[in-house]
Amino acid sequence: MPNFDKTWAHQETQSVTGKLREAVKPQGALKPRIQTAVNKLQVQISKMDSMLGKLHERDAQLFKRVVTAMQQHDTSTSRVLSNELAEIRKVTKMLGNARMSLEQVQLRLTTIHDLGDAMVAIGPAMSTMKGLKSSLGRFMPEADSELNSMTQTLNGLMMDSLAGDSFNMESAASSEETDKILQEASAVAEQQIGDKFPSVPSSTGLSSQSSTSSFE
């Protein structure tokens, strides 16, 4: 019996010691793996920039057509075009929000210097990317595999660094940080969209302008 107790105590000590050793192992591989995740985020952000540029061009074209249709009193055409324009702006807002979210995540990852920083930044980063997958899939099918790859990279980083504890630590603090990222991104995206996109003119406004012009 004493031998069993000694063996059990020895195994338990080895287990605890092993975990501690893993938790404090050299950080040489940490920064390169974080940089890999940052680079993947940048690739996705660049793809979003390209798509947003195309949406802005399409928006400008449709807006001009809406104005022309209203000036010609073509109500049905202006309504159809306005609906299409509204849908494009909805997509643009969503993509802009997603882009800003990824940029916020990227910024947090670039400030990581040790495991403590990693734990604070990577959990919310993973949660944010999981939230983006469902909304981006409809417009950027390739984004799904990219986001999966980024999530796996981050999860692998934590698995290696924290001896298999991974990120079952998505606590209330992580959720709160994730919400903060999304709120910040949403505010910036909305402001940018408001600055870039003119409002769709109403038929009433154009009619009054036409009347004024005719009297002049």
pLDDT tens-digit profile of 107-149?
Answer: 887 777 666 666 666 667 677 777 777 666 666 677 777 777 7
pLDDT, one tens digit per residue, over 154-170 is 777 666 555 444 444 44
Regions of the chain where pLDDT drops below 70: 1-29, 113-123, 125, 134-140, 157-216
- The confidence score (pLDDT) of residue 65 equals 92
- The confidence score (pLDDT) of residue 113 equals 64
Q: Are 101 and 185 in contact (CB under 8 A)?
A: yes
Q: Are 181 and 105 in contact (CB under 8 A)?
A: yes
Residue 174 tokens read as 């992580």
Residue that the structure tokens 């916020």 belong to? 104
- The confidence score (pLDDT) of residue 21 equals 44
Report the 10 Å Cβ neighbour count for 102. 26
Q: Which residues are CB-neighbours of 124 under 8 A, at least 6 positions away?
A: 105, 108, 174, 177, 178, 181
Report the 10 Å Cβ neighbour count for 138. 10
pTM value is 0.57
Nearest partner of 155 among 146, 168, 138, 137, judged by Cα: 168
- The confidence score (pLDDT) of residue 167 equals 40
Residue that the structure tokens 């400008």 belong to? 60
- The confidence score (pLDDT) of residue 208 equals 47
Residue 131 tokens read as 């939230």
